[in-house]
Structure 1
Amino acid sequence: MNRPAFWVAFAVISIGAAFVGIRYFPRAFSIVSLDITMDRDRALGEARTIAQRNRLGPPGFREAASFALDTEAQTFIELEGGGKEAFTAMMRSGLYAAYTWRVRHFREGETNESTIRFTPDGVPYGFVETLKEEAPGAALDAAAARAIAERDAASRWGVDLARYALVEQGQDRRTGGRVDHTFTYERPSPTLNDGRYRLRLVVSGDRLTEVTPFIRIPEAFSRRYASMRAANEAIGIGSVVGMALLYVLGGIGVGLFFMLRKRYVLWRHAAAWGLAVGAMQALAAINELPLIWMTYDTALPRSTFLAQQIALVAAGFIGFSVFFGLSFVAAETLTRRAFGHHPQFWRVWSREPGASVQVAGRTVAGYLLVSLFFAYDVLLYLVTTKMLGWWSPSEALLHPDVLATYAPWLSAIANSFQAGFWEEALFRAVPIAGAALIGDRVGQRRLFIVLGFIVQAIVFGAGHAPYPNQPSFARPVELILPSIGFGLLYLYFGLLPGIVLHFTFDVVWFALPIFLAQAPGILLQKGLVVVMTLVPLWMVLWRRVQVGRWTRLSPADLNAAWTPPPAVERPVAIVPVTHATLGTRAKTAWFAAGGLSAIVIVFLAVADRSRTPPLNLRSAEAADLARQAIARRGAALAPRWRVMPMPDNGSSGAHEFVSETAGEARRTELVGRYLPGPRWNVRAASFEGDVADRAEEWRVYITPAGEARGLQHRLPEGRAGAALDEAAARTLAVRALADRFGLQRNQVREISAKPARLKARTDWTFTFVDTTVAPLPKGEPRVEVQIAGDELASAGRFVYVPEEWERQQRAASTRNLVLQVLQTLVFAGMLVAAAVTGLIAWSRRRYTPRLFLAGAALMLLISMVRTANNWPTVLASLTTAAPLPLQVIGGIAVALVGLTLIAVLVGLALGALPHALRGTSTLDGGEALRLGVAAGLVAAAAAAAATALRTPVWAHVPDLSALGSTVPVLRLALDPITTLLTRTAVLIAALAAVEHATSGWTRRRVPAALLLAIVGLLAGGLPAGSHLGGWLLGGLVLAAALLVTYTRLLRFDLTMVPIALGTLAIVITLARGVERAHPAALSGSVIGALLAGGVAWWWFRALRQARTAVDAGGPHAQV
């Protein structure tokens, strides 16, 4: 490799591979040839012209543009609508433009907006204008509206209606009196097998507000495709499980634990690179902001929308940076330990090694190998698609959206940087180096390296299976040889060449649209892509210039030369903590506060008793009643059908709207009629048989009194049936009103009639207003009737919520999402920080392993039992479009990984607590126990007060979730335990850190108090709907309670925390039980309270004993 002839031959082979790849690329991959003569600026300009001419959109609008593909239509056509040739022919003939420019005109706070579409060559291709529901307009009959639709579609949008036939015609009367008409047309020929070319025209009042060509895709295909995709997803889940168990728990967790003990870990460089990769991902997300405005909900203030994006970017940056950093630490550390002949990775770009011929060779080799891997991909797809019939979607190499970002080069570089660096570190270095170290341990190094190669190839390939390719194993098979190639590069030459190759290879793919684009300033973007891609080479050349000559790696530059620093026994630095004494008067005051809190709790519990009737029907009874209701419809469920009852507390209805606008009395009056109350939601479905037929489902709602209401029958689209006209369908709907609700035709007002023309029948949906109910100040009591062919499919009542109110609720939901992201960051961050601190402490032998084992085992055991007990809920949520075994296996695998990771994190945090408590204040055991109970009662009273403040009356619903489990009593009994363990681990770790940081609350009190207040504020959950004020008040109560309880009591002995949290859990559990929302509520809650008390007491004693042992045995005591 040191001879020039080798590099000349290597370069020639690389050039030849590039030629082969380019030569056969169009034959291997289906490339859609698009004549994109319209650029983004032209699309924006012509959209403004059209909007001004046709008076579309709001005044003073903002604009956004995107070039999009109808991927659903493409997938259908290529798989079942005639193949890739049919898709290409369709695009060429202009039957349907799957690729379109979309220009959106919108304004903050305005419902009115428009989206105008153009073909790639700039021909207007339809539009949609959204009007306010209350906007005034005419109430034309269908004939007059159709005349307007056909006239304006032809004159203004160039639609040739002679090629179409009308197949659907519906109308919808808006609350402001305007009548909107929808007309759907279909081309008799040509067809796409079961797919049809259609056109939708909408007239709102007397204005044409929509012209949309589309392809009607049969439901059967969507379900077949979902079933096919389930295998891809299952393989991907397998990769995630393997990564989590082997690489994260095994490589990062166990591997770094032993490396920390050997003082082998170098974390600073890895942390810096983790931050760099995380920052690049965050910048790439910000770079997409111009395109994000296409999905902006104008119901949100722009500030809220931007806050949402910032929160998501910040959460991603923090999470990715930590995970990437840990991955890099593990990869480099294990590599340094396992492969002494590799250059030290963090030094390859330092002055002397960076100018070496070895580093230069590894860098150049990475670049030269790109074309070989590229040619392999091309030839593989050429063979598999032409000879084996494998499928991957056709692609257009030019993506104008790339040019809409702030810096087009950034996204290509950032995504490639992340994939090249992180995947080679975690998916290559960790398994191979870890396998080598295990092999060294057992004396089978080569065997374990081979096993490591096999594992990394399987996991890496399976991780790419979710891509839209068929068969499901296409990508895993494709990546076997590349995985082996990357592995060999790593094995012989270290991380550098694989990272350079992977990074550059991905850049080639991601940057193709940039290099094929023609636009002002594009040369700069292309140049930046090249410059950034060659950064590894620039680093080598820079070091070469610095040194003035080519060097060679010295033995000191290899991993074998690195030795851990000598162990230095340092005294454990314990920040002096002032041991304050809790006086007798203070103790008495806390006992009194606990007693008073108990009275407050009882008072609030009585005042907060749910007014809704209990759901005393058991699951089996609800299932039997549902079967009887279905049988009365003349349907007999075969053995393959599963009847799956699920409890429903009724919170899904428009309770908040009615309560806020009409008063609580009207809301209560409508519960059980137009607003849902507690009930059983019984779903009957089959997971066997033809996937298209499995779309058939039944749904029945069973009231607490045992009445079957709202029976729904969902038929597959392909099921044959009648094709009724509007009058005949309306007759059936009116009959259903009388039979189901006792409503006569003169007691309702029709709002809309909407048809759906299917392949073998016509369905209808009618909506009526119930005029027998006293009018609401806002909204309406409505009834919806669905007719499938000539069968009554469903008839249900609901409260119609006006658009403006719904928009306000969407804004509130988005704000709550931002708060949820913040809560997750804070509490997940606290748990991870406590766990990492515990891992480091364990590696330094300042840990209590038995508490780790006890906490992790108990957490995992209870979590697994709870998950298994929750099987009915899981089953009822599964889709019939995917194979049941794949869904079950995938769910079990994900649950196993997630529960194991959480159990390990909690266990790591718990095991570190005795040493964290070393040197803190203590109380007598009996006093600590009693005061802990008092603190828990105060916390429970504060929690009850906070709940009362943040929970409006309409949001008081019974907790019926336990009824969705196999054994409800078991669910209620185990529910408090995992929460108690997690809170104990996080809260004691946090309070111990505060205690040491403030030296016993004698300094830095302001920042510490602020942090505790934030934790207390966020501990109250999320606001109920739009009630931010109540949530804030409740959060302040919790913040004050946490601050006062810690500063005035808990800091005198932090081992009281388990007792306090256990008391809190007991109170909350019993409060739910005394509501008796269902038969198992009280007994399950009593058992849960006893278990919570027992667990709290055990951990109280265990922490006190362990802390005593640590204080007696010194900083390295292992207890």
Structure 2
Amino acid sequence: MTPETLRPADKRFVLVCILVCAASLFIGIRYFQRAFPEASIDFRVNRDTSRPLAERFLQDRALPLSGYRHASAFRYDDEAKVFLERELGLERANGLMPGEIKMWRWGHRWFRPLEKEEIRVEITTRGELASFVHVLPEETPGADLQPAAAREIAESFLSNVIRRPPGTLEFLDRQSRKRPKRTDHVLTWKVSGMELRGATYRVSVTVQGDRVDGYSEFLKLPEQWQRDYARLRSLNESTSLVDSLLFVLLGIGMLVSLAGHIRLRNTRWRTALIFGLVAFALQFLAALNEFPVAQYDFDTTGTYASFVGRVVIRAGLIALAFGGLILLLTACTEPVYRSSYPKHLSIRRMLSWPAIRTRSFLLASLAGITLTFFFFAYEIGFYLLANRLGAWAPADIPYTELLNTRFPWVFVLFMGFFPAVSEEWMFRAFGIPWLERLLRRRWVALVLASFIWGFGHAAYPNQPFFIRGIEVGIVGLILGWAMLKFGILAPLIAHYSIDAFYTAFLLLRSGDTYLAASGAVTAGINLIPLLLALGAYVVKRRFNEESAVANESEGMPAPQVPTEKRTESLPVTAYTPLGRRPLFLVLAIFTAGIALAPLKAPRYGDSVAFRLPKQAAEDAARKFLWQQGHNTADYKVVTQPKDRSDPSALQYVYTVVGTHGLNSIYGEAVVPAAWSVRFFKPLQKEEFRVDVDPGNGRVVAFQHLLPEEAPGADLPEAQAQQIAQRFLEDGKLDLGQFELKETKSEKPKARRDTDFTWEAKPGTRGAAGEARARAQVGIKGDKVGVWTRYFKVPEHWQRARERQNVYSLSVLGIRILLIVVLFAVAALMLVRGTRQGTIQWRRAALVAGIAVIFELAHSLNSIPVFASAYDTRLSSQVFTLAAIVGSAISVLGFGLLALLAAGLIMACYPDAFSTSIRNNLPLWRRDAIGAAGALVGVYLLFQAATGWLGYAASGRALAPSLLLPPHLGTYVPFVSGARDILVVALFCAAAAAFATRLWLQHSHHPLLCWSLVAWLILSFLPVSARRFSEAMIDVMPTAVLVLAAWLLVRYLFRDNYAAYFVAPALLASWRSSASWLAQGNTSLAVQGVLLLLVMIAAALALFTRSAPQAKLAQ
């Protein structure tokens, strides 16, 4: 056999590649800056040399730094940067940002774990002070200055330290806040003569007591510009969201394909595992490598050890997700690619030494490297033309936080590997052949796969919104052609090289030998196989035979032999009905639950009832606004239930005064729940939000949002305070029991807004320990624009509650590890069941289809919920499109989960959905209904017991949360309640099947079984608990519930498959119905009764078949 060598055509191809690389390099060097201009940064000081400047400033301010930890970061205001570039042009923006506008800053932070006090200083890259802040606990003592005295101190600081005389500034705003032992003031000026297209350059000074403890310079952007830019960006985001729907559909196709190949035992799990492990390792190291950057955002409520633990856990979780995704994508892609392109190098062997020695490898590697150079030139040409036609993109910043990490090359490797592998697998190696089989046209598949990938990049800020999608889509066409011509290796090399090069670009330009060398090696690592292949050919003067490493050598699955269909007359599974004793026990449990249900303990929120229908709440809100002088006739309106309680305040008050005190204070000082009525107009900022008490229709909070350009009066503070006091007194609030704590005065363009906050005095009904009820009123111009009431808890207590410690970290670790282990075991069960043919995916798909119908009905029924989240910066068309696409993705995701749940049930119990099971339904009818009754009875007893336990342990347990009735914000709660029944029935059945199968498989190892149970109970320990009593009181009912579930399954549910569906469904309908019936609302009561009746009727209809003649187990 003649040895294979380079052919004449190959030599011409090599020559063309050399010419393309040379031409691309020439274009890149000459035109890169014109195509991708950079922001101008004058690095007179770097991260290290800026620190002494910050320390010297703090030394002058008599702020010692001994005992503090230090962290640093590069800081800038991205939105301000974009504003200047878009409005002034890059050239003028570059002239302003390094000097007059202090944009580029080195941030330095000194902090101590578990202490609030910290210091932050920002020094510009030119070595000037841009901001500093000295954060103090609110209990720190200090002077009680009047605003005028504080302003004198601030102006003296500006003149003597910052060198900004008051004559160059125009005073704008003041905010005063009364702390327990001092008064703080924040004063703001704008710099005269620094107006830039409606933006103003401002300076702010913070005076704490009688010390200047804060200073900042910033560009205040025009509000209308921010809204317009958000609307512009929404086109990018909605385009990307629409593309993501196609992405999801392609992903579902991958999973369907994977299931088929698993059934044929045609999946190369070892190859998938290798790629997954590489992704895991690179992402884990990259995440840990960012530790110095993460330190800058250290949360001082936790210990340093807990911070390190959270960083490691987070790194591990993200790495596990990325690794799992690559494993899954590889498993889906490899068999499709192998069967579609038998002559190309196989994925499993393409990086092996025999493959490197082949002609295909050499040409594919050369093509990949050439494409890297070509795309470099292509993007330059594309954006030179696009910029000439009016396209825009934000200027690149010649700095990256990678330079602040120890091993920046790890991130370069990851950013080259992960996008290249994940995207080339999905959109080239899988997407093109799969779509070709589906659509019967290769060119259609190539175009569709390329532009699905391309428009996945549409969320970038480039304008117009479609420009990035077109640019990357064209790249996708070329990469797709390269795959068809040379195999997946060529686009894989090109994709890796492009992403790695752009990630390493600043490392190459850093001037540091280590950074430049490591960036060059990691970005150019794909040259190594090419050089090896070229060197081997030069030495041997021949190539290896390709057939041994091509896809065709991997072997194809044998054609599936048709199996005989299962007959529909399978024998009925032997079943032993419950005897009289268990049935009497069921009756006793249910009766006890019903009897004890009315004897429930007092609970937080007992007085909350949504007696008022939505329409009545809207009428009450309109009446209130009319009384305030506002006409809302032409406004759109949407109403949703709202939980108005703050979890921190709730916990504090509960700890101090217990359940009765909590209900008393939250019933009088702060209404815990409300109908939140919103009046708005698309694309207009002005809107009204009114909270209405759902029990009596009283308005309890109000907010009027106004654009900053809206005109209004410019009242003195005293006159504005009189209006606010009169409003509160008309609302029956006794201001004699309150004291003024905070005042904020702000000057928008054509009016003055002033906010006042009063706090309950000690010993009054609004005080609980150190917590105080507060009343806030904001005057916009000469009208009330804000009114609300809330609770303020002591800062030291809140920080103690938020503290992350070894306990919370341990519980989090236990919980995450359990979820990962159970997820992995369930995945293995699904794979094994698919391979063995025990999962009937068509029947699982039928179940998923029914679930999708219910979820779609729920989504349509939830349109008011979506509408309540409308952002008035967006057009209604864009928002509607985003809501529709988001709902479609959600429905598809729910259907996929339902499919997997049904599949898991069959993986554990293969006959769960078989005909024989349907024949068994009459045998199970009585026992299934009995099991459902027992479950409802156990639930009612459990609720009663936990209620009394929580009441008895008031002050020592976690505060109970407010339980709002489900789906109040939908059109018809009944529809979404029916969907909940299906969700609960299906997923509870899947969980029960999974748990019982695990238990039975390991029943011969009782120690292992009960260890898993203990692990499960420990995972339910509350992360938010900060006292031993809180953890124990919360986890004890969980342990009892797990034990009750075990007893129910063992003695009542047993092998009655129907019970596992019917009982959870009946319980779900009971809970929703009981909640709606308790509201005193006729419409809800009717729907509650109807839901329960429909569920009972459905259960009876399920069993109304004559019992087959079957022999029962004796």
| TM-score higher than 0.5 | yes
What residue in structure 1 maps to residue 68 of structure 2?
61
What residue in structure 1 maps to residue 1044 of structure 2?
1041
Secondary structure, aligned partner of 2:746:
strand
The match for 2:627 among 609, 627, 632 is 632
Distance (Å, rounded) in 2 between the aligned partners of 1:742 and 1:908 = 56
Residues 88-118 of structure 1: per-residue CA shift (max 9 Å, x gap): 12124x1112111101111111111111101
> Is the Cα–Cα contact under 8 Å of residues 846 and 912 in structure 1 kept in the other structure?
no
1:422 matched to 2:417 = no
Residues 557-579 of structure 1: per-residue CA shift (max 9 Å, x gap): 322344335589999xxxxxxxx
Secondary structure, aligned partner of 1:964:
coil
1:684 matched to 2:685 = no
Deviation at 1:1013, TM superposition (A): 4.2
Deviation at 1:1056, TM superposition (A): 4.2
> Is the Cα–Cα contact under 8 Å of residues 272 and 331 in structure 2 kept in the other structure?
yes
The match for 2:967 among 962, 970, 987 is 962
Deviation at 1:887, TM superposition (A): 1.8
Q: Structure 1: which amino acid aligns with 2:637? A: V
1:647 matched to 2:637 = no
Compute the RMSD of aligned alpha carbons: 3.8
Secondary structure, aligned partner of 2:173:
strand
Q: Please give the residue correspondences for 1:749-788 in structure 2 after superposition, counting only pairs within 5 Å.
A: 749-771=739-761, 773=765, 775-788=767-780
Residues 362-421 of structure 1: per-residue CA shift (max 9 Å, x gap): 123212221210111112112212x2221111122222x212223111112212211111
1:659 matched to 2:649 = no
1:1010 matched to 2:1011 = yes
1:717 matched to 2:708 = yes
What residue in structure 2 maps to residue 76 of structure 1?
83
Q: Structure 2: which amino acid aligns with 1:1061? A: P
The match for 1:671 among 666, 669, 686 is 666
1:463 matched to 2:462 = no
Task: Quickly say closer, same or farther: Cα 1:7–1:1101, change in 2 above 3 A.
Answer: farther
Q: Structure 1: which amino acid aligns with 2:423? A: E
Q: Please give the residue correspondences for 1:850-999 in structure 2 after superposition, counting only pairs within 5 Å.
A: 851-911=843-903, 913-914=905-906, 916-917=908-909, 925=924, 929=928, 932-933=931-932, 936-937=935-936, 940=939, 944=943, 948=947, 955=960, 957-995=962-1000, 997-998=1001-1002
Structure 1 window deviating more from structure 2 (903-912 vs 776-785): it is: 903-912
The match for 2:791 among 799, 819, 830 is 799
The match for 2:285 among 283, 293, 296 is 283
The match for 1:242 among 230, 242, 246 is 246
Task: Quickly say closer, same or farther: Cα 1:1005–1:543, change in 2 above 3 A.
Answer: farther
Residues 40-71 of structure 1: per-residue CA shift (max 9 Å, x gap): 33334443444444344775211111002210
Residues 584-639 of structure 1: per-residue CA shift (max 9 Å, x gap): 99983685377346525652563147621422111111112211221222222243
Deviation at 1:273, TM superposition (A): 0.5
Q: Structure 2: which amino acid aligns with 1:644? A: V
Distance (Å, rounded) in 1 between the aligned partners of 2:1103 and 2:160 = 81
Deviation at 1:751, TM superposition (A): 1.6
What residue in structure 1 maps to residue 543 of structure 2?
551
The match for 2:1078 among 1051, 1075, 1078 is 1075
Deviation at 1:1050, TM superposition (A): 5.2
What residue in structure 1 maps to residue 435 of structure 2?
435
Task: Quickly say closer, same or farther: Cα 1:828–1:417, change in 2 above 3 A.
Answer: same
> Is the Cα–Cα contact under 8 Å of residues 279 and 418 in structure 2 kept in the other structure?
yes
Q: Please give the residue correspondences for 1:514-593 in structure 2 after superposition, counting only pairs within 5 Å.
A: 514-519=507-512, 521-523=514-516, 525-526=518-519, 528-530=521-523, 532=525, 534=527, 536-537=529-530, 540=533, 550-564=542-556, 588=581, 592=585
Gaps of 5+ in 1: 572-580, 1112-1119
Residues 321-340 of structure 1: per-residue CA shift (max 9 Å, x gap): 22221211222211111222
Q: Structure 2: which amino acid aligns with 1:643? A: V
What residue in structure 1 maps to residue 332 of structure 2?
330
Q: Structure 2: which amino acid aligns with 1:404? A: N
Distance (Å, rounded) in 2 between the aligned partners of 1:848 and 1:10 = 52
1:382 matched to 2:374 = no
Deviation at 1:760, TM superposition (A): 1.9
> Is the Cα–Cα contact under 8 Å of residues 1018 and 1035 in structure 1 kept in the other structure?
no
Structure 1 window deviating more from structure 2 (233-242 vs 880-889): it is: 880-889
Task: Quickly say closer, same or farther: Cα 1:832–1:1072, change in 2 above 3 A.
Answer: farther
Distance (Å, rounded) in 1 between the aligned partners of 2:873 and 2:804 = 33
Distance (Å, rounded) in 2 between the aligned partners of 1:191 and 1:541 = 62
Distance (Å, rounded) in 2 between the aligned partners of 1:1005 and 1:1055 = 28
Secondary structure, aligned partner of 1:764:
strand
The match for 1:707 among 693, 698, 701 is 698
Residues 949-1000 of structure 1: per-residue CA shift (max 9 Å, x gap): 57987535342342211012333343222122122123213422432x22xx
Alignment length (residue pairs): 1075
Distance (Å, rounded) in 2 between the aligned partners of 1:1092 and 1:314 = 44
What residue in structure 2 maps to residue 574 of structure 1?
none
Deviation at 1:139, TM superposition (A): 1.2
Structure 2 length-normalised TM:
0.89
> Is the Cα–Cα contact under 8 Å of residues 686 and 707 in structure 2 kept in the other structure?
yes
Deviation at 1:200, TM superposition (A): 0.3
> Is the Cα–Cα contact under 8 Å of residues 44 and 63 in structure 1 kept in the other structure?
no
Gaps of 5+ in 2: 1-5, 564-573
> Is the Cα–Cα contact under 8 Å of residues 591 and 931 in structure 1 kept in the other structure?
no
Deviation at 1:211, TM superposition (A): 1.0
Task: Quickly say closer, same or farther: Cα 1:584–1:797, change in 2 above 3 A.
Answer: closer
Deviation at 1:1047, TM superposition (A): 5.4
Task: Quickly say closer, same or farther: Cα 1:451–1:1099, change in 2 above 3 A.
Answer: farther
Structure 1 window deviating more from structure 2 (325-334 vs 562-571): it is: 562-571
Distance (Å, rounded) in 1 between the aligned partners of 2:937 and 2:535 = 65
> Is the Cα–Cα contact under 8 Å of residues 265 and 835 in structure 2 kept in the other structure?
no
Distance (Å, rounded) in 1 between the aligned partners of 2:142 and 2:261 = 74
Residues 237-271 of structure 1: per-residue CA shift (max 9 Å, x gap): 112111111x2111x12222333344432222013
Q: Structure 2: which amino acid aligns with 1:712? A: Q
> Is the Cα–Cα contact under 8 Å of residues 775 and 787 in structure 2 kept in the other structure?
yes
Residues 532-560 of structure 1: per-residue CA shift (max 9 Å, x gap): 45454477579889x96752342343223
Deviation at 1:30, TM superposition (A): 2.3
Deviation at 1:915, TM superposition (A): 5.9
Secondary structure, aligned partner of 2:293:
helix
Q: Structure 2: which amino acid aligns with 1:204? A: Q
The match for 1:145 among 133, 150, 153 is 150
The match for 1:740 among 718, 721, 731 is 731
What residue in structure 2 maps to residue 1117 of structure 1?
none
What residue in structure 1 maps to residue 116 of structure 2?
111
The match for 1:192 among 196, 204, 211 is 196
Distance (Å, rounded) in 2 between the aligned partners of 1:651 and 1:470 = 42
Deviation at 1:123, TM superposition (A): 2.7
Distance (Å, rounded) in 1 between the aligned partners of 2:784 and 2:431 = 59
1:20 matched to 2:27 = yes
What residue in structure 1 maps to residue 17 of structure 2?
10
Distance (Å, rounded) in 2 between the aligned partners of 1:515 and 1:254 = 44
Deviation at 1:1007, TM superposition (A): 2.3
> Is the Cα–Cα contact under 8 Å of residues 82 and 394 in structure 2 kept in the other structure?
yes
Question: Among the aligned pairs, what percent are the same residue?
Answer: 24
Structure 1 window deviating more from structure 2 (902-911 vs 1059-1068): it is: 1059-1068
1:100 matched to 2:105 = yes
What residue in structure 2 maps to residue 171 of structure 1?
176
Q: Structure 1: which amino acid aligns with 2:21? A: S
The match for 1:510 among 496, 500, 503 is 503
Deviation at 1:202, TM superposition (A): 0.8
Distance (Å, rounded) in 2 between the aligned partners of 1:1021 and 1:938 = 26
1:1032 matched to 2:1035 = yes
What residue in structure 2 maps to residue 577 of structure 1?
none
Q: Structure 2: which amino acid aligns with 1:932? A: A
What residue in structure 2 maps to residue 1115 of structure 1?
none
> Is the Cα–Cα contact under 8 Å of residues 835 and 905 in structure 1 kept in the other structure?
no
The match for 1:130 among 131, 135, 149 is 135
Task: Quickly say closer, same or farther: Cα 1:383–1:957, change in 2 above 3 A.
Answer: same
Task: Quickly say closer, same or farther: Cα 1:919–1:1052, change in 2 above 3 A.
Answer: same
Secondary structure, aligned partner of 1:342:
coil
> Is the Cα–Cα contact under 8 Å of residues 834 and 989 in structure 1 kept in the other structure?
yes
Distance (Å, rounded) in 2 between the aligned partners of 1:344 and 1:200 = 63
